[in-house]
Amino acid sequence: MNRTLQKKIKPYIWLLPSIILMAVFVIFPILIVFRLAFSEVSKAGIVGGFVGFKNFRDAIGLPAFKTVMLNTFYWVISVVGLSTVFGFIIAMVLNQKFHGRKIARAILVLPWATSLVIQASVWNYIIKYEYGNLNNVLLNLGIIKEAINWRSSYQIEFIWECGVGIFVTIPFVTFCVLSGLQSIDSTLYEAADIDGASYWDKLWRITVPLVKPSLTVSTVLNIIYVFNSFPIVYTMTKGAPANKTDTLVTYLYMLNYYNRQKGPATALSVIGFLVLCICAGIYMVGVMRKEEDL
Amino acid sequence: MKLSESIKKKNRTALLLLLISVLLAAVILSLPAYKFTSSVYTKKSANTFVGDEKYTEVRAEVDAVAEEYRASGLDVEVSESVTERTNSKGETTSMVAFSVDQTFTKNGWSFLSAGMGSTWVLMALLLCLVLSAACALAGTVGSLDDPYRALDGRAAAFRSASYYLALIAMLLVPVFFMVNTVLMSRRVDLYCDGLLTEGKEALFAKLDAFLFGGQGGEELESMLKGLSFRNTGAMWLLLPCSAAAMAAGIQLRRGSITHTVVRGLLYAFVIALCVFILYPYYVMLVTGFRSIAETNDSDFLHLLPVKWQWGNLKHIVDRGVLRYLGNSLLVAGGATVLALLCGIPAAYAMARMRFKGKNVFLGFVIVSQMFSPVVLLIGISQLMSAMHMYDSIWGLMFINAAFNQAFAIWLLRGTFVSISPEMEQAAKIDGCNTVGSLVRVLLPMAAPGIVTTLIFVFINAWNEYTISTVLISTASKRPITVGITQFSSFNMIEWQNLFAASLLATIPVVILFMCIEKHLTSGLTSGGVKG
């Protein structure tokens, strides 16, 4: 009896350290955020009683709320969409055999390995008007005659932020697609060749369907990571002017730590968290289905 | 017979094309390449309206000056520009600026005798084209009429050389323009404004000889200051010209162009991509070792620092960067150890044991990969102050370990599952317990997967920024990602220090990442990871 009990409990003991770690540092903060979102929170962070949806109403009533939500939407859609397209094309190219392929792949990994703050700072310097490196290079190449103001308006600055976002996201997509491409059986292409299929036929009928699972995983994960991406916007514009370039995460950071509007900030946290949960749900369904396929 | 005829014909066509390209290049060089305009004399006249008394007076004066220049053999023209403004009283004022401009064109050949930087580029370009044609000739003579004899090594080498020389010629065209631009506009500006002084006299003498045929004399500096130039576009024709030569070279070498062009485009794409990706790193590297003056100089035109400022490194070390690096190492290292210590048993249980709730836990692991600490920022900081771990490196370590836990388990589980359990079972029969078989048998076999996981967690923790900015308030406890922000305060950014420190923060992780790069393609989609 004791033996069987021990055997039953054993797996849970093996899981225990991991569960404790995640429960304390992941689950707890989630609970805290939810509790704060429904409580009265003073500017100093002292938690009062239950106030229902007041914080949510306050958050939605904030003047910048609509802009920030739209920005977040544009940010996620443009960065995820474009980096998926570019990443796919680059993966197709890097999957060819050519000299220096290993070097090219090693270089491609660089933006992924670099901290986002550092990437954002470098691009910040590159696109500076007065002494930015891009203007300098273009002037010296004789491509432009006069320095161009690369950040003439906040819309353009936001586009630059998206560009940097795409730049750092491409390697992840590329490597996901590459791993999908490499698992494709080459006999499929040989069979298609015998049947006289064109390049595009092979692309649409073989490559794309077989890479689709990898693309789904990378897209959903990217939506989540891009949604949460804080350092690029924070380093490049800090949301200025007047939250016009803020995304949800930078906005809630500013609200909480600069404006001390802790109530609405936690409400925004919960909103962001729920959006992520929906994505996570989609992702989980996808992964589980993939597991079944294997 | 038919085949040999067609090969002969192809070879002849290719050779002809190459020779025509070279001749064409010679013709293109005779076309006007640049149009220069230099103001030799300017006169501004305030409160002057076009057509009034003062205007006529000044105009006559300027015309006289122009006449003088014409007498000395220069081809000059008088031009005027009018600026009208409304002053504070609402009256319209007007200012006329006259200038006596000398306009002249220079063709490509004149660059060849100018003795300036671009001369050497142009010479190399021409040499490549001529040599390319020569090599093609050498490679085809003898084999032209003899298609059945396999190309001997020498002929093949000549043909390859011809193709590569044409390629180099093509690449040299933009270099030629770049050198010209640097020389003519930017550097002349800088010398005239006194920003750079070294070699001024020599440069001016050369430019004078080239542009004005030695007529500039005393007024040279003002003439150069008023210098503007426009590329007539004729020289860009060299580009298709050498491209045609290259195509001919390819035809000779391979017998087919399509394949080589596709390969060429592939390489061009990959090279462009690599340049684009490396560009920010190049900026980081060179800016990190420039002097302050050079970083903030809008006119600097050196690809590399004028003088490598190794002192920047010393300066940032004095400002505590080593300390931040140490903190980062501690946080990332601690988080990695913790994540693996908790993750390996969990992954092992998931891979090898059967128990109720396994799928629930698996689902939770997948979902919790989505929980970014950023959205939970407020909750985390509350939790940390409740646990008295606010502003503590330990707290940071735990948070990083916890948020990387899910994917560590996911990745490790994948590795463990891919290893057959037979060896462990054998070890168990030999008297090993579960822990023993895990440590002695499974872990050594799973080493590559474990190293990959380890490096991933390490890099994630090393690059983490948001949580650290919120949790750490004491300067000496900052990790490097937060530490570098001290170089960019609101009103002044010390770019050179910022990038020198960034470089130190980037190099170790980049090296680590490149170590696991080949595992990325295999483990990615199954693990679903991202830094």
Q: What is the mean pLDDT of chain B?
A: 82
Percent of chain A at pLDDT exceeding 90: 15
Question: Is B347 in the same domain as B426?
Answer: yes
Domain assignment of residue A256, yes or no: yes
**Structural contact between residues B33 and B111, judged by C-beta atoms closer than 8 angstroms:** yes
- Chain B residues lying within 8 Å of A273, measured CB to CB: 371, 375-376
Domain boundary among B76, B108, B140: B108
Domain assignment of residue B367, yes or no: yes
- As given in the structure block, the two tokens for residue B323 are 């300390």
The pLDDT tens digits for A105-162 are 889 988 988 999 999 999 998 988 877 888 888 877 767 777 888 888 888 999 999 9
pLDDT of residue A169: 92
Question: Is B201 in the same domain as B78?
Answer: no
Residue A225 DSSP label: H
At A166, the pLDDT band (50, 70, 90 cuts) reads very high
Mean pLDDT, range A28-36, rounded to an integer: 87
Nearest to A32 among B370, B382, B514 (CB): B382
The pLDDT tens digits for B1-40 are 466 677 777 788 888 888 898 898 889 888 888 888 888 7
pLDDT of residue B528: 42
The pLDDT tens digits for B235-279 are 888 888 888 888 888 877 776 777 777 888 898 899 999 999 999
- Asked if pLDDT for residue A210 goes beyond 60, the answer is yes
Number of structural domains (chain B) is 3
Neighbouring C-alpha atoms within 13 Å toward the C-beta of B36:
23
Please name which of A225, A241, A294, A199 lies closest in space to residue A75, comparing C-alpha atoms.
A225
**Structural contact between residues B165 and B278, judged by C-beta atoms closer than 8 angstroms:** no
Count of CB atoms within 10 A of residue B507's CB? Answer: 10
Task: Tell me the whole-structure pTM to 2 decimals.
Answer: 0.81
Whether residue A21 and residue B520 make contact (CB cut-off 8 A), yes or no, is no
Domain assignment of residue B304, yes or no: no
At B335, the pLDDT band (50, 70, 90 cuts) reads very high
Domain assignment of residue A257, yes or no: yes
- Asked if pLDDT for residue A293 goes beyond 60, the answer is no
Cross-strand partners of B104: B36
Q: Is A242 on the interface with B (CB under 8 A)?
A: no
Note which residues in 246-275 of chain B have CB less than 8 A from chain A: 263, 266-267, 269-270, 273-274
Domain assignment of residue A254, yes or no: yes
Distance from the B41 Cα atom to the nearest Cα atom in chain A, whole angstroms: 23
Domain assignment of residue B95, yes or no: yes
Whether residue A122 and residue B283 make contact (CB cut-off 8 A), yes or no, is yes
Could you write out the DSSP letters of every residue in A140-198? HHTS-SS---TTSSHHHHHHHHHHHHHHHHHHHHHHHHHHHHHTS-HHHHHHHHHTT--
Q: Is B47 on the interface with A (CB under 8 A)?
A: no
**Structural contact between residues B160 and B203, judged by C-beta atoms closer than 8 angstroms:** no
Question: Is B69 in the same domain as B189?
Answer: no
Count of CB atoms within 10 A of residue A60's CB? Answer: 15
- Asked if pLDDT for residue A220 goes beyond 70, the answer is yes
Question: Is B333 in the same domain as B387?
Answer: yes
Whether residue B377 and residue A256 make contact (CB cut-off 8 A), yes or no, is yes
Whether residue A252 and residue B522 make contact (CB cut-off 8 A), yes or no, is no
Q: Can you say how many angstroms the Cα of residue A3 is from the centroid of all Cα atoms in its chain?
A: 48
Question: Is B87 in the same domain as B139?
Answer: no
**Euclidean distance between CA atoms B397 and B399, whole angstroms:** 6
Q: At residue B104, what is the residue type?
A: F
- Asked if pLDDT for residue A170 goes beyond 50, the answer is yes
The pLDDT tens digits for A76-104 are 999 999 999 999 999 999 988 888 888 89
Q: Is A160 on the interface with B (CB under 8 A)?
A: no
Q: Is B157 on the interface with A (CB under 8 A)?
A: no
Query: Burial, A75: exposed, middle or buried (Cβ in 10 Å; 0-12, 13-18, 19+)?
Result: buried
For residue A48, the SS3 value is strand
Question: Is B159 in the same domain as B285?
Answer: yes
Domain assignment of residue B306, yes or no: no
At B529, the pLDDT band (50, 70, 90 cuts) reads very low
**Euclidean distance between CA atoms A242 and B307, whole angstroms:** 41
Percent of chain B at pLDDT exceeding 90: 11
CATH of the domain at A165: 1.10.3720.10
Question: Is B213 in the same domain as B335?
Answer: no
Domain assignment of residue A15, yes or no: no
The pLDDT tens digits for B423-480 are 888 888 887 787 888 888 888 888 888 888 888 888 889 988 888 988 888 888 899 9
**Structural contact between residues B495 and B283, judged by C-beta atoms closer than 8 angstroms:** no
Q: What is the mean pLDDT of chain A?
A: 84
- Asked if pLDDT for residue B525 goes beyond 60, the answer is no
The range of the structural domain enclosing residue A260 comes to 70-293
Question: Is B102 in the same domain as B231?
Answer: no
The pLDDT tens digits for B105-161 are 888 888 888 878 888 999 999 999 899 888 888 877 766 555 545 566 777 888 888
Alpha carbon separation from B411 to A203, A259, B70, B418, B518 (Å, rounded): 30, 40, 82, 11, 15
Query: Angle between the B311-318 and B321-352 helix axes, to the nearest 10 degrees?
Result: 80
Whether residue A26 and residue B402 make contact (CB cut-off 8 A), yes or no, is yes
Question: Is B464 in the same domain as B377?
Answer: yes
**Euclidean distance between CA atoms B176 and B126, whole angstroms:** 11
Domain assignment of residue B10, yes or no: yes
Question: Is B345 in the same domain as B358?
Answer: yes
- Asked if pLDDT for residue B55 goes beyond 80, the answer is yes
CATH of the domain at B57: 3.30.110
Cross-strand partners of B94: B84
- Asked if pLDDT for residue A40 goes beyond 70, the answer is yes
- Chain A residues lying within 8 Å of B499, measured CB to CB: 121-122, 125
Domain assignment of residue A270, yes or no: yes
- Chain B residues lying within 8 Å of A24, measured CB to CB: 383, 398, 402
Q: Is A194 on the interface with B (CB under 8 A)?
A: no
More reliable by pLDDT, A170 or B360: A170
Could you write out the DSSP letters of every residue in B184-200? IIIIHHHHHTTS--TTH
Total residues found in chain B within this entry? 531
At B342, the pLDDT band (50, 70, 90 cuts) reads very high
- As given in the structure block, the two tokens for residue B169 are 């010629």
Distance from the A191 Cα atom to the nearest Cα atom in chain B, whole angstroms: 22
The range of the structural domain enclosing residue B68 comes to 38-108
pLDDT of residue B524: 55
Mean pLDDT, range B327-353, rounded to an integer: 91
Residue pairs between chains A and B whose CB atoms are closer than 8 Å = 291
Count of CB atoms within 10 A of residue A2's CB? Answer: 6
- Chain B residues lying within 8 Å of A112, measured CB to CB: 513, 530-531
- The helix (run of H) or strand (run of E) holding residue A204 is none
Number of structural domains (chain A) is 1
| HEC assignment per residue over B444-503 | HHCHHHHHHHHHHHHHHHHHCCHHHHHHCCCHHHCCHHHHHHHHECCCCECHHHHHHHHH
Domain assignment of residue A275, yes or no: yes
**Euclidean distance between CA atoms A132 and B300, whole angstroms:** 10
Percent of chain A at pLDDT exceeding 70: 95
Mean pLDDT, range B197-211, rounded to an integer: 82
Q: Is B417 on the interface with A (CB under 8 A)?
A: no
Question: Is B146 in the same domain as B259?
Answer: yes
- The helix (run of H) or strand (run of E) holding residue B95 is strand B92-107
Q: What is the ipTM of this complex?
A: 0.88
Question: Is B51 in the same domain as B26?
Answer: no
Percent of chain B at pLDDT exceeding 70: 93
